[in-house]
Amino acid sequence: MITEGAITLRSRRRKSAGQESPEWVRISMASAIALGFRSGRFSREFDFGGINLLLNYDDGCRSDCGYCGLARTRPGNYEDKSFIRVEWPLVRTGDLVARMAKVEEKLTRLCISMVTSPYAFDDTLEITSMINGAVATPLSILVAPPTLNRRRLERFREAGADMIGIGLDAVTEELFRSVRTDVPAGGAGLSWDKYWSIVEDARELFGPWKVNCHTVVGLGETDQDLVGIFLSLVDREIFPYLFCFNPEPESRMGGVPKTGITRWRRIQLAKHLIETEGFTAGDFSFDGEGNLSGIRNTRLETVEAVASEGSAFMTNGCPGERGEPGCTRPYGSYRPTEEFRDFPFEPTEAEISEIKRELQIESLF
């Protein structure tokens, strides 16, 4: 059995014919382009410094979330599966670290995404130590709670991780159980209670605004559910990060349509108002189905100012060393050929005008 103290020996003790972590990792296509592993260009030139890594195993991720492209029961070979509907090229970890060290002055945030695997903790710890031995850029870990406990979170902190992310995704227990623990092919599902225990432990260990929870719009939740969890997380000094559901073909939720743009924009706006303007539950009203139907009239001037400024509609991600946007993850909520759901750069005046048209603010007052 592999112990927590034997991470440097893990790759020698477990034989694999494939290109697995910790020796290999996947990186987002945006990261691959930025670091020169793949040719390509972004639709608009901007400073991109957020590098995203994803662990890789021959047998894939052991979880089977109904909306995820990496789900165990989604048809196809694991190496051919997409994650958030974009390709994640496979690279040698050593080559990646060397490439990042060469362009360190351009980097703003690094993030390692775990998957549910019995090897994930050891490998993540090893990769974290390797990166922090060569690159000083702040590093986050998007953790897989089923593989962790409080002591393992402490080990991540000791190895140099400065932020922890938890992919909660589904924002109510009922929905979590429906889309994340309903495993048609059998096997263990994920635990809502376990996820929240990791959230609480991470908050205690890493401190205020050093933990984030990913939330997804479009899995079946209501606007009222989303606003409720934003308020709860911000009250605990935990960042809520926002993604738009983007159906993965042949996943269990592959036929569920993407959230409409007006709803998406309003949820982006509501979250920003809670985080930056101190909006509370009393500032929002909802209809009988939980849809956001109004914002308190006395707040109109603030809402219009925030909508005109534009940052509410930029990508949520861990900050850089000086608090600037660090992880801007282009294409996290949309395909490269689709309209921007969130912007990895400041939207232009023309884009803000379109956003305001999509928001239909006048109907909220």
pLDDT one-digit tens code per residue, 272-327: 999 999 999 999 999 999 999 999 989 899 999 999 999 999 999 999 999 988 99
As given in the structure block, the two tokens for residue 91 are: 């690279």
State the pLDDT at residue 198: 98
Phi, psi angle pair for 143, to nearest 5°? -90, 160
Q: How confident is the model at residue 12, as a pLDDT? A: 41
How far is Cα 211 from Cα 166, in angstroms, rounded to an integer?
A: 8
Is 267 inside any structural domain? no
| CA triple 259-262-265, angle to 5 deg | 90
Q: What's the mean pLDDT in 20-27? A: 97
Residue 198 inside a domain? The answer is yes
- Among 45-49, 123-127, 221-225, the minimum mean pLDDT is found in 45-49
Residue 356 lies in a domain: no
Residues near 105 by beta carbon (within 8 Å), at least 6 away in sequence: none
Mean pLDDT of the chain: 90
Assess if residue 292 is contained within a domain: no
CA distance 132 to 119: 20
**Residue 270 within a domain:** no
- Residue among 198, 211, 244 at smallest CA distance from 140: 211
Share of residues in the chain with pLDDT > 70 (%): 89
Determine, yes or no, domain membership for 14: yes
**CA nearest 22: which of 33, 36, 8?**
8
The torsion of the CA quartet 238, 286, 215, 360, rounded to 10 degrees, works out to -110
> Buried (b) or exposed (e) across 207-243, using 16+ Cβ within 10 A?
eeebbbbbbbbbbbbbbbbbbbbbbebbeeebbbbbb
Residue 140 has pLDDT above 80, yes or no: yes
pLDDT band at 250 (very low <50, low <70, confident <90, very high): confident
Q: Which of 108, 110, 120 is nearest to 49 (CA)?
A: 108
> pLDDT-derived band of residue 185, with 50, 70 and 90 as boundaries?
very low
Report how many domains make up the chain.
1
Domain assignment present for residue 183? The answer is yes
- Torsion angle, CA of 96/102/103/105, rounded to 10 degrees? 130
Residue 205: give its domain's CATH number.
3.20.20.70
CA distance 170 to 179: 8
Domain extent at residue 244: 4-257
